[in-house]
Structures are given as structure tokens and as C-alpha cells.
Amino acid sequence: MSLDNETGLDPPGIRIRPVSGLVAADYFAAGYFVWAVLIANLAQIGYEEKTMYMAAYDWRLSFQNTEVRDQTLSRIKSNIELMVATNGGKKVVVIPHSMGVLYFLHFMKWVEAPLPMGGGGGSDWCAKHIKAVMNIGAPFLGVPKSVSGLFSIEARDIAIARAFAPGFLDKDVFGLQTFQHLMRMTRTWDSTMSMIPKGGDTIWGGLDWSPEGGSFSCSAKKLKNNSTHNTGHNADSNLGDMKSVNYGRIISFGKDVAEAHSSKIERVDFRDVVKGGKLANSSNCDIWTEYHEMGNGAIKAVADYKIYTAGSILDLLHFVAPKLMARGDAHFSYGIADNLDDPKYEHYKYWSNPLETKLPSAPDMEIYSMYGVGIPTERAYVYKLTTAADCYIPFQIDTSAEGGSEDSCLKGGVFSADGDETVPVLSAGFMCAKGWRGKTRFNPSGIRTYVREYNHAPPANLLEGRGTQSGAHVDIMGNFALIEDIIRVAAGATGQDLGGDRVYSDIFKWSERINLQL
């Protein structure tokens, strides 16, 4: 599954390709549905193989490289044109999920752009062919989980497993060096860089503030409140008595650092530190990572900087993963455009960043952001240095860092916010709630946007399986309320017919704290 670490394409002698057709992603494994429930429900209102197209793509590659290697973007363009032409000119409804949301955002710019960089469809292609884009679990502005994955190949679940069985994953009794294998592999996947948080401190918060801090109780009761009717902004449904959390510090070295005011923290800049030498206990490594070549001084310098916000995360990743980020710089960008008419934004590296690109000129099109809420979702991390094992990765989530109360959003070294267990509300909802709402510089034609939230309710018993009211990132694909919304739009309804926004979180209140020029 690894790609070439220099090109981000196929390594010599190995060729893996995505499956085509509806079976490409109906089930992840036997009995574990992804798109299967939605496909079956669409079939009930008359859709079939010739009127549904599964746009499978190699999710390891950068978005533009899927066109370079497989012509995937061209295939999507041709299939959409064919469906419109063979169905009486009726426009398509596109339903991306997770990273596919960013991929289709890239596609909408690619299809308009002139050859050879783009698809040559012209500025009115989306207006002619797309009725609605119904984004599910959209990581529009990235996810903090991607940072911990690139930094230490961890997320909350792995960190907890590591705490229960110290040494087994780090220095396996069979010598498998699990984390090193995973790090070497995933750092060849350029697509992972599409998920790095976008918008810097303006969006995600800084040393002493974050937009959504203190707006979610991590022990909130999960309510069976998933009706298909518009409930309005039920902003107080999951608030508890808790002190405000500053999520802006995405990585902190030490719980005290995570919670102290910035004026009380001494930091030493790591960016000019010379890397070199080998880490202690790493001379006999079979699986080499870039950490083993950094030297102890450079590793210590990373920890001595103490706090990393979305604005400094990029410098950190360039320092610890230079090969990955060198490739990524050619394909992705994470800033906020000053002037969207600047010709530089015609380059494909900006197309999947909603803060550095314009939506199509398609005033009759609709864009939905559909996602789960009410589940604690990874937002920031407490780290520690470690030198515990041979061939070690020197940074770990500090699972001993706890918030000290049942309502605390710090558990096992991970600060949680409201979201769908993978994507925080900030990333999934902000663009449709504010950044694109009305006519803005990011949405000059005034495409109508709708936020549709689904309050998570876990299955009541084993007979419910993964649940019919789940808001979890993948399980939401079986959520009856979401499926009904999609079927109604696929049958001709508009966002207004659905009742407009349906919001359970606090997003319309705290998004106003983000000072973004619109």
C-alpha cells in the first residue's frame, strides 16, 4: 500500500487500483455497510445502475495525481455529462463523503479550468450539470486528527491501546515495529495532507482563544432527537457546567502547558535547530523513519517549543516530515486568500481549500453540509517525549493527562469538541454556516447553502446494529433522517422544501468569533 516516497505515485513493480462500479464502496467488509443502505433506498425511488455512478478514486494519491495517473477527474466529468444527456437534461445530485468532499471541491475547480491543468469545461459547466452537492461528514477545513497521525501515527484509540499494553505496539515481541511500518507507509500518501487544518489561527484559534471553546459538554447525554423536522438552533441542548477550553493549542507538551496562559510559558524556537546524528537506541532499526535521523537535539527542540497552533503546525510538520511536506507543498495549501482574483489561485494546489478558492458561478446550485453532532471529537492533544523502546518514535500522546472531572473534555491526553467522532463541527459546518452563506467573496454567485445536523443517538440494542440515528462519521450513512433528506433532494426537492437549516450545535453563535473577511 505504500507509494513512492519521492513521487507520490506507484513504486516500481507495484500497481494497486480502485475497484469500479457501485460495489467499489457499498460495503467496507462483509456486513459493514458504507454506501449500501443509501444505494438500496435510492433504488426504491427508481434509481438504478445507469442513473447512479460511484466515483471511486485512489484515496492515497494527491487529488491532481489521480488525474495524472488514472484520469479519474476526466472519468467523473464524462460520466456526469453522460447521465445528464441520457436523462432528459436533468442535473445530477452529487453526494461526497469525508475526504471525497475535498476531492469534489477540487473537481469543481478542475472541471472549469482550461486544459491542460484543468478539464476545459468552462465557467458554466457546474451550472449546467449539477443540481446539488450534498456533503456528508465534510472535513472542509481539515481535521486535527490528521496532525496527530502525521506527527506520531496516533489518534485517541491507538493512544489508549498503547496505555493498556505498553511495549506491545512500540517494541513488539515479534519485532514487527508496528508504528514504524505505519508511519513509513502513511507518509507516502499525499492525500493525508489534504486533511491538515486550513485557515491557521484565524479559524482554529491561537495561544489563548478558540472559537468554540466551552460550548460542549463531553459527558452530554445522547438524546433521541433526530426528527426530520427543523428544530431551529437548539444551542443549549448539550451544555454543561464546565470551564472554557482553549482548543487553539492543537499540540501541547504537558497538561500544564495546555492550560496555562501563554504569558506564563517559556518557549524556545525549534525552526533554526540543526538536525543530525541518530536517536539513542535506534542503531538496529529495520524500519527507518525520519525521526531516527533528526538527532536528540532536534527532538528536544520540538518539545521545548511547547505549544503548536494551526498556524505553527505546518512549520512543525515541515521539520519532522520534510519529504512528505515537500511533495505536499506542490499539491495543497492551507492559508486564507487575500485576493481571490490573484492569478496564482488558478493553480490546482489551492482548489481543495475553500478559503483559497471561489465556488462555481452556479446560482441555482445548492450546497449542503450534513454531519453528526453530539459525539466527543478529537480537537487537541497533550504530548510527551519518550525514549522507552528501541527504534522508537519519540513523541507520544500522554494518556495520563486527564481533566479531573466527569464533564472534562480532556481525557487520556486528548481534548474533545463537538463533532461526529472524526470531524469537529468547526470543520464540517463553518463554510456553509458563514463562509459561503449568502454572497461572499468565496461564493460570489450566491449559491444557497444549508447546514443539516444529525444529533447522535447510539443504538438502543443489538438488534439496531450500528444504529439508525447515529451521527458517527461512517455510521451516519445508515441514519434514516440523513437518507430521507438525500432521497427527497434526489427526487426533486430543494433545501427550502427540507425546511432549511437543521442545527443542534452552537455553530451559528460561536462562528461569529471568527474574524474572517467575507
Output DSSP code: residue 223: P
| Pairing state between β 27-29 and 32-33 | antiparallel
Closest listed residue to residue 320, CA positions, set 72, 487, 153:
153
The radius of gyration of the chain from alpha carbons, rounded to an integer in Å, stands at 23
What cell was used for 484?
A: 430521507
One DSSP character per residue, 196-245 reads S--SHHHHH-BTTB-TTTT---TTPPPP----SS---B-TTTT--S----
CA-CA distances (angstroms) from residue 49 to 39, 53, 97, 176, 344? Answer: 10, 7, 20, 44, 40
**pLDDT for res 274:** 83
**CA angle, residues 218, 432, 313, in degrees to nearest 5:** 60
Run of H or E including 127 = helix 125-129
d(Cα 476, Cα 486) in Å, to the nearest integer? 12
Tens of pLDDT along the chain (518 residues) come to 999 989 999 999 999 999 999 989 998 888 889 999 999 999 999 999 899 999 999 999 999 999 999 999 999 999 999 999 999 999 999 999 999 999 999 999 999 999 999 999 999 999 999 999 999 999 999 999 999 999 998 876 665 555 555 555 555 444 556 778 888 889 999 999 999 999 999 999 999 999 998 767 777 544 444 444 444 444 343 333 345 789 999 999 999 999 999 999 999 998 888 887 766 666 666 666 788 788 888 999 999 999 999 999 999 999 999 999 999 999 999 999 999 999 999 999 999 999 999 999 999 999 999 999 999 999 999 999 987 556 678 899 999 999 877 778 999 999 999 999 999 999 999 999 999 999 999 999 999 999 999 999 998 877 678 889 999 999 999 999 999 999 999 999 999 999 999 999 999 999 999 999 88
CA-CA distances (angstroms) from residue 99 to 255, 327, 405, 507? Answer: 31, 19, 34, 22
CA-CA distances (angstroms) from residue 439 to 59, 130, 223? Answer: 32, 19, 35
Residue type, 223: L
**pLDDT for res 140:** 98
Q: Are 355 and 441 a contacting pair, CB within 8 Å?
A: no
d(Cα 162, Cα 180) in Å, to the nearest integer? 14
Q: Which residues are catalytic?
A: 98, 420, 473
**pLDDT for res 220:** 52
**pLDDT for res 29:** 83
What cell was used for 161?
A: 491501546
d(Cα 113, Cα 102) in Å, to the nearest integer? 17
**pLDDT for res 180:** 81
Helix, coil or strand: residue 167: coil
The residues spanned by each domain of the chain are: 38-141+339-373+422-513, 144-216+244-279+286-333+377-417
**pLDDT for res 222:** 44
38-141+339-373+422-513 topology per CATH: Rossmann fold (3.40.50)
| Pairing state between β 366-373 and 448-455 | parallel
**pLDDT for res 369:** 98
CA dihedral angle for residue 3, residue 320, residue 246, residue 413, rounded to 10 degrees = 80
